[in-house]
Structure 1
Amino acid sequence: MTATRFTGRTALVTGAGSGIGRAVARALAAEGARVVVAGRRREPLDETVALIEKQGGRALAVTADVSRAADAQALVRAAVDFPGPRLRSGAGPLIGSLDVAVNNAGVFRGGQALADLPEDDWHTQLATNVTGVHLALQAQIRQMRTQASGGAIVNVSSNLGLHATSPGAAAYAATKAAVTALSRGAALDHIGDGVRINVVSPGATATSMSLRPGETEQDRTERAKATLPLGRISATEEIAAAVLFLASDDAASLVGTDLVVDSGGSL
């Protein structure tokens, strides 16, 4: 039997043009949500929408740069205005809520020791990974706290940061540790408003971001066998499953949780 935990709800997913974000958007749509998919480039977003529609779901692509407050606010408006099913009276569509938000957009600039990291790479990671989550949270919470049903937010962080370290990733890890700290603080601030905020921290996952310079997917598979307790990296669908759990009523008592999904890599 197909799960329908999000039927009738509207969801927003940033960084939804590929990888984890696309998997999350597809999973939400498969469970009944109307999904606004966001990212900087239109073409991959349209591909995500096409995949969702092919599986019978509903999605809307909106280009946005989450490091800009105006764009974060526009994404919330797009979700609120996403038409729902028609009323039996024929009075029009049900609109007006943002029920689930998944802040997945992130960038990695690294591969070299911290002292050799270009300043622009530091600012790029800080703008998207930290400021982007901060601005998204503000816009989303301001909408959700006006709703009788509140809402659920899941921020996608990383096992690199609070849970693990890796050579050449100090700045990235710092931004992801900040995501977890920001999320936990916001969770405490706004649970009284009916807004539940949690975090998923993936480890190496089957996306291009987990490939080291010059490494093939087969090389990555062999590396995972030798270095990860589970012996393999995570599938994007496995990360999506964790996100959906935290966003669902199944996790109604989880507030400020940081769920690490990393094949045991941070043990």
Structure 2
Amino acid sequence: MKSIIITGASSGIGRATAELFLAEGWAVGLLARSADVLSKLAERHKNAIPLVTDVTDPTAVSGAFETFQNETGRLDVLFNNAGIFAPGGTIDEIQLEDWYQSVSVNLNGMFLSAREAFRIMRHQAPQGGRIINNGSIAAHVPRPNSVHYTATKHAITGLTRSLSLDGRAFGIACGQIDIGNARTQMVQNLVENAIAGGQQPDPTMAVDDAARSVLHMASLPAEANVQFMTVMATTMPYIGRG
């Protein structure tokens, strides 16, 4: 049985991806803070392993990955997904606590999870594995009033490239999926804000299509890797945005 840890597994893209991988028969480490949601998922799937963890806590993250390794014996894939979109504004309107929280979750949290996954994959036998980082369209072009989110997501692209380079010697592949306007609660909030402001909201797509894209990346043989994938609502203003 192949194994994966999914961070941010209690909602949105992480939840949809976890449901899909569980249905496909993978052993899935469900890493998130919401114990009740993870418990309900585990009740329905014998191959689910709840890992109640705050991704910003180095000790907790290390313990969660160790627990998963002890239960499965191996980590094949990390879907490094956990992230937040703090209240927006121009840079002078962004509250410092929102900036620090964005960096803590979106960047530090992904670094900590990738660090633990890399360590396990480097030392397991057979050696190797795959890390998939959730970058977002914002890793390339910004939405208005999103300097905190955009800065952290641009940083994820650097993380992805560095992991790809450093992982070669150990059979560790790293790729990035950039998802545009999957219908999660975060995107729904943006849609509602646009409508409230008298604007036409961007088109959206089903979150399950994002999950299937992650499954494709995760299922490739070791000799192949999707370095960067962009999957988005067909008519969203990505080309020409920014």
Provide TM-score, normalisation by structure 1. Answer: 0.81
CA 1:96–1:122: 2 relative to 1, 3 Å: same
Per-residue CA deviations over 1:44-100 (Å, capped at 9, x if unaligned) read: 22233345x2xxx51011111111221221121122122xxxxxxxxxxxx421111
Q: What's the secondary structure of 1:77's corresponding residue?
A: helix
Deviation, 1:149, is 4.3
Question: Does the Cα contact within 8 Å between 2:130 and 2:174 map onto a contact in 1?
Answer: yes
Question: Could you tell me how far 1:12 is from its partner in structure 2?
Answer: 0.6
What is aligned with 2:67? Answer: 78
The size of the alignment, in residue pairs, is 234
Deviations 1:213-254 (A, max 9, x none): 6818999xx945xx4xxxx41211111111111111257422
Q: Distance in 2 between matches of 1:263 and 1:251?
A: 29
Does residue 238 (structure 1) correspond to residue 223 (structure 2)? The answer is: no
Among residues 155, 166, 182, which one is paired with 1:178 in the alignment? 155
- Secondary structure, counterpart of 1:254 in structure 2: coil
Matches within 5 A, 1:1-267: 8-51=1-44, 53=45, 58-82=47-71, 95-147=72-124, 148-162=126-140, 164-212=141-189, 215=192, 223=200, 227=202, 232-249=203-220, 252-254=223-225, 257-264=227-234, 265=236, 266-267=238-239
* Cα drift, residue 119 of structure 1: 0.1
Preserved CA contact (<8 Å) 2:139 2:178: no
Aligned amino acid, residue 166 of structure 2: D
Distance 1:216 1:126, change over 3 A: closer
Supply the distance in 2 between the matched residues of 1:170 and 1:216 (Cα, whole angstroms). 17
Structure 2 gap segments, 5+ residues each: none
8 Å CA contact 2:86, 2:102 repeated in 1: yes
Q: Which residue of 2 aligns with 1:86?
A: none
Q: CA deviation at 1:110?
A: 2.7
SS of the aligned residue for 2:178 comes to strand
Percent identity, aligned pairs only, is 29
Bigger Rg over Cα: 1
Q: What secondary structure sits across from 1:238 in the alignment?
A: helix
User: C-alpha offsets along residues 141-189 of structure 1, whole Å, 9 cap, x if unaligned?
Assistant: 0000112141111111110132x22111111011011111111111111
Closer, same or farther in 2 for the Cα pair 1:189/1:214, shift >3 Å? closer
Pairwise CA distance, 1:104: 0.8
- CA distance in 2 between partners of 1:146 and 1:251 (Å): 16
Conservation of the 8 A alpha-carbon contact between 2:139 and 2:156: no
d(CA) in 2 for partners of 1:237 and 1:171?
Answer: 27
TM-score by length of 2: 0.89
* Partner amino acid, structure 2, of 1:263: A
Structure 1 stretches lacking a partner, 5+ long: 1-7, 83-94
Distance in 1 (CA, whole Å) between partners of 2:149 and 2:128 is 32
What amino acid maps onto 1:241 in structure 2?
R
Q: CA deviation at 1:36?
A: 1.0
Structure 1 stretches of at least 4 aligned residues deviating more than 4 Å after TM superposition? 216-219
2: CA distance, partners of 1:181 / 1:214:
29
Taking only aligned residues, the RMSD between alpha carbons, in angstroms, comes to 2.3
